[in-house]
Structure 1
Amino acid sequence: MTDTSGLEPVATFCGECDCGCPQLFVDPAAPTGRRIVLTDDFGQRIQMSADQFSSIVANAKEGKLDGIA
């Protein structure tokens, strides 16, 4: 799994199992454009800026992601 030492945990998505659920972190040591970190249950990670993550959140709140699930 991805090394998450030094990252500040924000949220775990699912969390009702022990399979390595996707997680959201803030990496205070990362450059501004890579401070938000999403990990998945396959050991992969995506890094993005807070602005990019805010755009995802705004789209979700507007219902633009509802058709995905």
Structure 2
Amino acid sequence: MTDHGPLPTSGLQHVATFCGQCSCGCPELYLDPAADDDRRVLITDDFGASIRMSLAQLAVIVDDARNGVLDGLIEGAR
């Protein structure tokens, strides 16, 4: 995978940094108020890549996480 460097984030609303305990370019969650509804959420990674999704799609991920859907995956990584 090629490192493309950080994505431009001007005009985006920063919501969260995942990890933040290092200087490696941790994944971050942004809202893009100028984007169409189906692309409003932006998640960046430390390789210069990103994904976009709707707030409704993010809500499903958050609900699944709250309900333990991801617990097995996380426990295996510890």
TM-score (norm 2): 0.85
Structure 2 gap ranges (5+): 1-5
- Across the two proteins, how many residue pairs are aligned to each other? 69
Aligned to 1:5: 10
RMSD over equivalenced CA pairs, Å: 0.6
1:27 partner amino acid: D
| Rg larger for | 2
Rounded Cα–Cα distance in structure 2 between residues aligned with 1:20 and 1:8: 17
Aligned residue number for residue 56 of structure 1: 61
Consecutive aligned runs of 4 or more in structure 1 exceeding 2 Å deviation:
none
Q: Which residue of 2 aligns with 1:23?
A: 28
Q: Give the share of equivalent positions with the same residue, in percent.
A: 55
SS in 2 for 1:25: strand
Rounded Cα–Cα distance in structure 1 between residues aligned with 2:50 and 2:11: 15
User: How far apart, CA to CA, are the structure 1 residues paired with 2:73 and 2:33?
Assistant: 31
Q: Higher helix proportion, which one?
A: 2
